[in-house]
Amino acid sequence: MDKIRFGLIGCGRIAQRHAEIIQNMGILSAVCDIKGEKAAEFGKKYNTKTYSTIDELLSSEKDIDVISICSPNYLHCEHTIKSLQTGKHVLCEKPMALSVSDCKKMMIEADKSGKDLLIVKQNRFNPPIAALKVILENGKLGKILSVQLNCFWNRNDDYYKNSDWKGKKALDGGTLFTQFSHFIDLLYWLIGDVKSVDALGRNFIHNNTIEFEDTGTASVEFENGAIGTINYTVNSYGKNMEGSITVFGEKGTVKVGGQYLNVLEYQNIDGYEISGLPESRPANDYGFYQGSMSNHEKVYENVIDVIKYGGIIAANAYEGMKTVEIIEKIYESFKK
């Protein structure tokens, strides 16, 4: 098979990362953005064809193999379904969608089309996180007793004012969808499914810019009996402070922290030591704010492995749906 041909939907901030990587690993055949000037600028920078709607792109570009969806959260379901219906594989940015019912529609369409649906969860590739996954799977920490997830970032009013969808409940979904869905995914991926949740959320200082919580706290019970807490806020003063997970097992304790779950901060494991970790890559830098680890090339390596060589999807649609389900449980609990 020749190089994989990609189409990209939405020419915003994260799309730049996708485009750079696609150009290194495949062919960027076409892009689209409803804002014509954005599509044009992007098309010029990456020397590719441009469209202003996904429908035009999909009906004109018959040779594209994979559509990368980088549009706002509320469009992921519609854009994924349209792409699958025209016979394309889909790589969808996180969050997979804004409701479990939309995720299910996407999964049904992937099944019908026989095409692959992959979700971007690049933080799973952070070296200390990947090492933690291995020792959990090998049982090195013994029975898992409890876990603590901390997400302390800064998003100021300008961040929301500069966007026509971020901060709006129906378009963005909430702080757990846009800022911290990667972290919720890791909780599910590392510890397991969530049985019950008790949570509180407040909007303390973003009442003029966001329609949902800027801070939340949740107590969680997992299906395997472990318990845990999630503490999150976008009110860390002035800058991002911490993204961390601490796992307490019968035979060991591990904390992966730093600002972006990129540093092995603590380990004390019975008869074992995590060592020789490769250096973590820097965070995605968007100019006036920083996001998650920039491991998107690992995501694309997986896309190519899956499509060319029948490899296993690193983050599949079921797992994408599970993250959305946990977030829904937390937001449901706010209402109690």
Ligand X SMILES: NC(=O)c1ccc[n+]([C@@H]2O[C@H](COP(=O)([O-])OP(=O)(O)OC[C@H]3O[C@@H](n4cnc5c(N)ncnc54)[C@H](O)[C@@H]3O)[C@@H](O)[C@H]2O)c1
Q: Name the β-bridge partners of 149.
A: 230, 245
Out of 7, 10, 252, 257, name the contact with ligand X by CB under 6 A. Answer: 10
Stretch that binds ligand X, among 31-39, 103-111, 147-155, 201-209 (CB under 6 A): 31-39
Cβ-proximal residue to ligand X, closest one:
12
CA–CA gap between residue 305 and residue 303 (Å, rounded): 5
> The tokens of 278 are what?
């490769």
Helix (H) or strand (E) holding 37: helix 36-46
Stretch that binds ligand X, among 8-16, 18-26, 252-260, 269-277 (CB under 6 A): 8-16
Scanning residues 69 to 108, which ones bind ligand X (CB under 6 A)?
70-73, 75, 93-94
How far is residue 52 from each of residues 23, 28, 56, 83, measured CA to CA in Å? 21, 16, 7, 15
Stretch that binds ligand X, among 30-38, 143-151, 206-214, 260-268 (CB under 6 A): 30-38
Rg (the chain; Cα; Å): 20
- Are β-strands 290-293 and 283-285 bridged in parallel, bridged antiparallel, or unpaired? antiparallel
Which stretches of 47-173 are DSSP H helices?
54-60, 76-85, 100-113, 127-137, 157-161, 169-172
Report if residue 298 touches ligand X, rule: CB under 6 A.
no
CA–CA gap between residue 36 and residue 30 (Å, rounded): 14
Out of 68, 80, 175, 178, name the contact with ligand X by CB under 6 A. Answer: 178
Out of 8, 32, 107, 315, name the contact with ligand X by CB under 6 A. Answer: 32
Report if residue 9 touches ligand X, rule: CB under 6 A.
yes
Both ends of the chain: CA-CA distance in Å? 54
**Which residue, 249 or 291, has its beta carbon nearer to ligand X?**
291
- Are β-strands 89-92 and 252-257 bridged in parallel, bridged antiparallel, or unpaired? unpaired
Q: What is the edge-to-edge ordering of all strands in the sheet holding 5-9?
A: 49-51, 27-32, 5-9, 66-69, 89-92, 117-119
Stretch that binds ligand X, among 6-14, 80-88, 142-150, 185-193 (CB under 6 A): 6-14
Stretch that binds ligand X, among 203-211, 273-281, 284-292, 321-329 (CB under 6 A): 284-292
Stretch that binds ligand X, among 4-12, 132-140, 199-207, 238-246 (CB under 6 A): 4-12
Question: DSSP letter string over 241-283?
Answer: -EEEEEEEETTEEEEEETTTT-EEEEEEETTB----PPPPPPE
**Which residue, 79 or 140, has its beta carbon nearer to ligand X?**
79
CA–CA gap between residue 204 and residue 237 (Å, rounded): 13
Report if residue 252 touches ligand X, rule: CB under 6 A.
no
Please state the closest distance from residue 52 (CB atom) to ligand X, in A: 8
Show the binding pattern over residues 105-124: x = contacts ligand X (CB under 6 A), - = does not. Answer: ---------------x-x--
**Which residue, 76 or 140, has its beta carbon nearer to ligand X?**
76
Pair 101, 296: CB distance under 8 Å: no
**Which residue, 15 or 264, has its beta carbon nearer to ligand X?**
15
Out of 4, 7, 8, 11, name the contact with ligand X by CB under 6 A. Answer: 11
Report if residue 54 touches ligand X, rule: CB under 6 A.
yes
Which stretches of 124-262 are DSSP H helices?
127-137, 157-161, 169-172, 175-178, 181-190
Report if residue 167 touches ligand X, rule: CB under 6 A.
no
Please state the closest distance from residue 221 (CB atom) to ligand X, in A: 28
Stretch that binds ligand X, among 64-72, 197-205, 259-267, 328-336 (CB under 6 A): 64-72
**Sign of the torsion angle spanned by Cα atoms 37, 41, 47, 48:** negative
**Which residue, 252 or 291, has its beta carbon nearer to ligand X?**
291
* Contact set with ligand X (CB under 6 A): 9-15, 32-35, 38, 54, 70-73, 75, 93-94, 120, 122, 163, 178, 284, 291-292
